[in-house]
Structure 1
């Protein structure tokens, strides 16, 4: 799904939260938002009405086991690469980086 017409953060947040099967309220509470406003705040983030500051975005990313950068990358393919590479070991990440650099030489 192309993201160019939507708030990138909002779209990726909604997809990531649903993939982890968390409610907006639960994710908000786990991110440190007060129970009374957790659901409403997360809903505003997912609708693109508000964008969390970087610290909150980092907390959300940690809970969803994603790198924070995933939520800001406009290119869907690059976002998927970031998402998948997040689970690799450092050694594997270096191997991927070497492979990408080798591709640049072609």
Structure 2
């Protein structure tokens, strides 16, 4: 069973939350101004999948962790964002708490 690529959905949600147009995001991550909107549109429509380096730049610009783009549902995507904002110590404590429950 093939799973749908979660990247287009995650990308669109994060971009809209950041209140950026496709072109603005593309330019901010280093794309040529003339092609930024079209390239970002292809990523959001799932016609093309960005490489990991591009995804890393998008994640940094949008303020989300890289793994956010691979979450298949909104709950795990939100958890990924929350966990990424925790300190390493807080993350370790969370792992311990969840492992013991």
- Provide the TM-score with structure 2 as the length reference: 0.90
Establish whether residue 73 from structure 1 lines up as the match of residue 61 from structure 2. Answer: no
Establish whether residue 41 from structure 1 lines up as the match of residue 39 from structure 2. Answer: yes
Structure 2 residue aligned with 1:59: 57
| Unmatched 5+ stretches in structure 1 | none
- Provide the TM-score with structure 1 as the length reference: 0.86
Deviation at 1:6, TM superposition (A): 5.0
Structure 2 residue aligned with 1:93: 91
SS class of match (1:35): coil
Q: Deviations over 1:20-56 (max 9, x none)?
A: 1011101001111111100110011011111100110
Structure 2 residue aligned with 1:9: 7
Deviation at 1:95, TM superposition (A): 1.4
Runs of 4 or more above 4 Å deviation? none
